[in-house]
Amino acid sequence: MRLSYHIAISVVSVAIFFIVWQVATMRQWVDPLLLPSLQDIGLTTEELLADGYRQVPLWEHVAVSLARALSAFSVAILIGIPLGLLMGLSEGLAAVLNPFVQFLRPLPKIALIPLAVVWLGIGEASKFFLIFIATFLSVVVGASAAVDRIGRSRIRVAQTLGASRKQIFLRVVLPDALPELFTTVRLSIGIGWTSLIAAEMVAASSGLGWMVVNASSYLRTDIVMLGILLLGGIGYLLDLLLLGLQRFFVPWAGKE
């Protein structure tokens, strides 16, 4: 399917979704308290842009959430990818670490909030930890799996030709694993981004996740929906950015 055709279909599907949404609210098929109209959300956006939410400008809520998430993502990727690759290359290391990784990975991160508060307090460190751990564990598992999918015959051929371990890693393992690594990072950042609300439940006073949770306690569904749209939109833009980087750095992906 051509890219332009794909984009056109996506735009039309999104437009239809918003049209149905607006019609449903205009005809009051749904209680406005449960689903505010797009017009109401637009007015709320203007209000928050002008006055902010709880004395904090809307752009600052966005910036704070992005700063928290991107810092945790960066550290998780920098540590998780090398560790995952090492686990994929070393059965002994994988045997040692896998029980801990597989135990923690499916654990709901919201369950770690009490421990995060006890260990790290109610400052930024606990929020960083919750986003980091959600992203890190997925990165480790994905990077390890990327090595497992590499054709072992290629490694044996390289060894037969006298390649050193460094050469095998740089010229065989890494190029073969890069497409999977980018996919892993995309999925892991998506998981980490969803943990933002849990992280911002820890004594926060700003951030999109905090704004959504706080507004819900006052039945401000319009602000909740605006926060959800912003969270989803930013997450989608982050994914598009990573997809662009993948196409730039791994142009051979899917062409074998």
Per-residue HEC secondary structure of the chain comes to CCHHHHHHHHHHHHHHHHHHHHHHHHCCCCCCCCCCCHHHHHHHHHHHHHHCECCECHHHHHHHHHHHHHHHHHHHHHHHHHHHHHHHHCHHHHHHHHHHHHHHCCCCHHHHHHHHHHHHCCCHHHHHHHHHHHHHHHHHHHHHHHHHCCCHHHHHHHHHCCCCHHHHHHHHHHHHHHHHHHHHHHHHHHHHHHCHHHHCCCCCCCCHHHHHHHHHHCCCHHHHHHHHHHHHHHHHHHHHHHHHHHHHHCCCCCCC
Residue 12 lies in a domain: no
Q: How many domains does the chain contain in total?
A: 1
Whether residue 142 is contained in a domain is answered as yes
Question: Is residue 59 one of the residues assigned to a domain?
Answer: yes
Convert the pLDDT of each residue in 112-151 to its tens digit. 888 888 888 888 898 999 999 999 999 999 999 888 777 6
Q: Is residue 205 part of a domain?
A: yes
The answer to whether residue 28 is domain-embedded is: no
Residue 94 resides in a domain: yes
Q: Residue 243 pLDDT > 60, yes or no?
A: yes
Q: Is residue 255 part of a domain?
A: no
Q: Give the domain CATH number at 120.
A: 1.10.3720.10
Give the domain range for residue 106. 1-7+38-249
pLDDT above 80: residue 161? no
220 falls within a domain: yes
